[in-house]
Every structure is written in C-alpha cells, then in structure tokens.
C-alpha cells in the first residue's frame, strides 16, 4: 500500500486500517510489521520525540513493509510538510486546522512540491502554473501524496465545509481529545454533545464525499462510527497497544494465581 493506493481504496468504497506510532523506535520489533495487517501508519511528529532522521527511518521501513507512511506534522505549516515529504512520507496529517489559508498552505506544500512562494500560492488559489508541462510534472511527482486536515476545535467545525472544499484535501481527521476538551466535556467520547459534534462532521464530509478519519482508542468507541460508514480507521497507538496488552496479560496471570490459590 502507498499513498496513491490508499486514496484509490477509499474512493472505491473500501475500508482501510492503521495505527499511530508515538514511541517505538525503528528496529524494535519492526520485522513484524508485515504481519500486522496495517494499511497505513501515522508517525507522530506533534506529540512525540521523533527526530528528523528517526522519522525518515520509519518512512523507509514502512514503505518497504507495504504500509503507507503518513506523518502528523507539528503544526499546519508548509515547512514541516515539505520536510516530511522529503523524508519519504506519502501522507500528511496537518493538525488543528481552523482557517482556509492554513489549508491552502499545506495543500500547496503537499500537492505542488517543490513549487514555492507566490508561484505555489497562485497554483492553489488560481490554478495558475508556469506551463502545462510544469503542472503535469508536479502532478506526477506528487501523485502518492495524501493530505488529511485535522478538525479538532469548535472553530474548525463551524468552518468545516469551507475547509474541506479546498482542492487537494483528501480526508478530514477528528482528534477526540482536543475536540472533547473544546466542547467542555474532556475525554467523554460517549457524551451526547461529542456524538452530536462528530455526527455533524461526518454528515458534512459525506456531503462532499470526503473520507473521515476518527482516532479510536477502544473497540467500543469505534463500533458505532464503523456502523455509520466510517471507512478510514485509525486505531490506538503503539504506547496504548503495549500497555493494554501488558495489562491484559497480567490480569490473566493474576486470575490464574487466584484459581491456583
């Protein structure tokens, strides 16, 4: 799977599955990547300590394992988007987007790399390029690039239709933690207010045939949204996965000890 095939799968109505890496280092158990059944992995550069070289290492390893490599950049700024693509990212998750200008900036950096300055601004806002040959060259060069924008605030929700209408956006993303905090119900992912907000986001995205990524932390959290047709599935992260597995194993061992006693 690469960025282009991921987009094609979503456009064809298929469901894709992935997770997020926030702690795991390249070389630590990554020989098992092919066995995990992942279509994509988001390598977090917003809340993790990954360096540029570590991120590049993950991009190579994931690509070699047949998994589409996506980077969540620190902020929605062109500098970080181009750095991630230079490292080998096929996709970008631009977090906490609230204004059309931010979307246009990350679209220009992702879909028209390496065009810069006023040239890329005109390409995004007017569809103007130095020549047809330049446009065709850039389209081919960036055809694997997938762009996801983060809808993680009330302001973004209110401007959602405008934000996802910018040509070049491939998907929207719900960050449950930030969104629930903004709604005044921190981490209450089954609260009616949160459910209503995500319903609004999903309906708006569906109206524009825009895939929606929701970050799920449990199966119970994921089930109702999968039943509503969410097809871009981001589940957990490496830190949660290791912790949950260890807790489950220890609970099982403790139960055996109780039985033996």
Q: Give the pLDDT confidence of 212-250 residue by residue, as tens digits.
A: 999 999 889 999 999 999 999 999 887 655 555 556 655
The 3-state DSSP class for residue 166 equals: coil
Q: State the pLDDT at residue 37.
A: 86
Nearest residue to 198 via CA among 147, 151, 139, 159: 151
Task: Give the E-state strand segments of 22-164 in sequence order.
Answer: 40-44, 68-72, 91-94, 146-151
CATH for 3-260 is: 3.20.20.60
φ/ψ (deg, to 5) at 227: -65, -25
Q: What is the pTM of this model?
A: 0.90
Q: State the pLDDT at residue 256.
A: 62
d(CA 193, CA 188): 9
Tokens of 258: 């109780």
Q: State the pLDDT at residue 104.
A: 97
Instruction: Specify whether the CB–CB gap between 93 and 172 falls below 8 A.
Output: no
Q: State the pLDDT at residue 21.
A: 93
φ/ψ (deg, to 5) at 13: 85, 10
Written as one string, the DSSP assignment of 119-154 is HHHHHHHH---S-HHHHHHHHHHTTT-EEEEEE-SH
Helix (H) or strand (E) holding 174: strand 171-174
What's the average pLDDT block by block, 10 residues per block, for the chain (261 residues)? 93 93 77 82 94 95 94 97 97 97 98 96 95 97 96 96 97 96 96 97 97 93 94 85 57 60 48
Four-residue CA torsion sign, 112, 98, 206, 189: positive
Q: State the pLDDT at residue 23.
A: 84
Q: Is 87 exposed, middle or buried (0-12, 13-18, 19+ CB in 10 A)?
A: buried
Q: Give the pLDDT confidence of 24-43 residue by residue, as tens digits.
A: 888 765 667 778 889 999 99
């Amino acid at each position: 799977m690469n960025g282009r095939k991921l987009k094609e799968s979503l456009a064809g109505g298929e469901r894709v599955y992935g997770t997020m890496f926030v702690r795991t280092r390249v070389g630590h158990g990554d020989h098992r990547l092919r066995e995990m059944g992942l279509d994509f992995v988001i390598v977090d550069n917003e809340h993790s300590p990954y360096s540029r070289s570590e991120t590049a290492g993950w991009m190579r390893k994931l690509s070699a394992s047949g998994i589409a490599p996506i980077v969540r950049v620190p902020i929605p700024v062109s500098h970080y988007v181009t750095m991630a693509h230079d490292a080998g990212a096929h996709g970008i998750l631009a977090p906490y987007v609230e204004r059309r200008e931010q979307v246009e900036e990350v679209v220009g950096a992702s879909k028209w790399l390496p065009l810069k300055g006023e040239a890329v601004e005109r390409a995004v806002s007017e569809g103007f390029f130095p020549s047809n040959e330049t446009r065709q060259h850039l389209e081919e060069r960036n055809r694997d690039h997938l762009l996801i924008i983060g809808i993680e605030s009330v302001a973004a929700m209110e401007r959602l239709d405008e934000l996802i209408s910018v040509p070049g956006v491939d998907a929207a993303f719900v960050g449950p933690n930030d969104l629930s905090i903004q709604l005044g119900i921190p981490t209450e992912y089954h609260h009616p207010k949160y459910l209503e907000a995500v319903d609004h986001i999903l309906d708006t995205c569906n109206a524009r045939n825009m895939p929606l990524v929701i970050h799920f932390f449990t199966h119970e959290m994921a089930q109702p949204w999968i039943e509503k047709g969410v097809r871009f599935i981001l589940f957990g992260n490496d830190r949660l996965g290791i912790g949950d597995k260890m807790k489950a194993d220890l609970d099982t061992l403790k139960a055996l000890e109780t039985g033996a006693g």
